């Protein structure tokens, strides 16, 4: 994945100078920033993908494969959705390989603020991490993941999203998480984004990453995506492919 940073810079330049049209499906992938939108009452949205990543230096590098990672989102009201995340995971450290089902995440997204006349939205997202995973893949503890998600439409063709969160996994001081995404579309089917994101691990170690990607709207209820990222304060690279399928409530 060498040469990734120049590609990211090129993508940034492209995003800043190209006209866009907003995508038709709002998803919580492939970027790290969760949207402030819910899927709507009675609708089911399935977001799935494949991710290959490397963290660390040379022989101590950790290889991670998520294949697939799947998020189910179901709207119980217009402003509240239930969420379930499950994934198959493979982690390789030197010659040691652990693989299996990772811990499931069960949660909800609740819109705190949304007005038709306003382009500003706020939602709260919370997940409970349940230690149901395969030994060697599971963290072995209950955990909680929480985010405040904010979005702002600058105009009809440009949008910003922000997340600030706190995760705790039963040990240490937990971690603060942050992200900010700029989204822009090329036409009525293709959209591009760039995003800095990271965390403050145990309230001590500052981690900063950067990623970029695109989405392609195949039809009104089906969207494909591609993304890649790199670490700015540490050695990390990943590449991901995915799709989103929205099943609308029968009228």
Q: What is the pLDDT of residues 69-105, one digit of tens each?
A: 999 999 999 999 999 999 999 999 988 999 999 999 9
Q: Please, are residues 13 and 189 in contact by the beta-carbon 8 Å criterion? A: no
Residue written as tokens 């382009």?
A: 119
Q: How many residues are present in the chain?
A: 251
pLDDT at residue 33, as a whole number: 97
pTM over 0.75: yes
Read off the pLDDT of residues 105-162 as tens digits, 9 standing for 90 and up.
Answer: 999 999 999 887 788 999 999 999 999 999 999 999 999 999 999 999 887 778 899 9
Alpha carbon distance 20, 191 (integer Å): 7
Distances (CA, A) of 28 to 37, 142, 201: 9, 23, 23
Rounded-to-integer distance, Cα 19 and Cα 110, Å? 32
State whether residue 32 is helix, strand or coil: coil
- The predicted pLDDT at position 24 comes to 64
What mean pLDDT do residues 170-184 have?
95
pLDDT digits (tens, 9 = 90+) for 6-65: 444 444 434 333 333 344 699 999 999 999 999 999 999 999 999 999 999 877 889 999
State percent of the chain over pLDDT 90.
78
Q: For residue 2, what are its two tokens?
A: 């060498």
| pLDDT at res. 19 | 35
What pLDDT is attached to residue 18? 35
Establish how many alpha carbons lie within 13 A of residue 92's alpha carbon, considering only the half-sphere containing its beta carbon: 10
> Is residue 30 reached through a cis peptide bond, with omega within 30 degrees of 0 on the bond before it?
yes
Mean pLDDT, residues 200-205 taken together: 94
Which domains does the chain carry?
4-247 (2.40.160.40)
Return the structure tokens found at 166: 């706190």
For tokens 């379930």, the residue is 84
Tell me what pLDDT residue 155 has: 78
Please give the pLDDT value at position 17: 36
Which helix (H) or strand (E) element contains residue 7? helix 4-17
Amino acid 54: pLDDT? 95
């Amino acid at each position: 994945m060498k040469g990734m940073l120049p590609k990211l810079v090129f993508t940034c330049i492209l995003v800043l100078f190209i006209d866009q049209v907003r995508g038709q499906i709002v998803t919580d992938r492939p970027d790290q920033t969760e949207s402030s939108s819910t899927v709507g009452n009675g609708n089911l949205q399935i977001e799935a993908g494949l991710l290959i990543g490397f963290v660390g230096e040379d022989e101590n590098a950790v290889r991670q494969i998520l294949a697939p990672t799947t998020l189910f989102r179901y709207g119980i009201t217009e402003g509240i959705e239930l969420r379930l995340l499950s994934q198959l995971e493979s982690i390789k450290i030197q010659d040691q390989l652990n693989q299996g089902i990772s811990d499931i995440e069960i949660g909800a997204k609740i819109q705190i603020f949304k007005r038709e006349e306003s382009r500003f939205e706020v939602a709260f997202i919370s997940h409970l991490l349940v230690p149901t995973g395969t030994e060697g893949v599971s963290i072995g503890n209950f955990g909680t993941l929480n985010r405040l998600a904010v979005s702002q439409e600058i105009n009809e063709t440009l949008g910003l999203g922000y997340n600030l969160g706190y995760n705790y996994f039963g040990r240490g001081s937990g971690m603060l998480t942050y992200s900010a995404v700029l989204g822009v579309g090329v036409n009525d089917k293709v959209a591009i984004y760039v995003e800095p994101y990271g965390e403050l691990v145990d309230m001590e170690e500052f981690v900063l990453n950067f990623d970029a990607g695109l989405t392609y709207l195949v039809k009104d209820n089906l969207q494909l995506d591609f993304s890649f990222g790199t670490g700015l304060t540490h050695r990390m690279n990943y590449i991901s492919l995915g799709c989103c399928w929205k099943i609308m409530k029968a009228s």
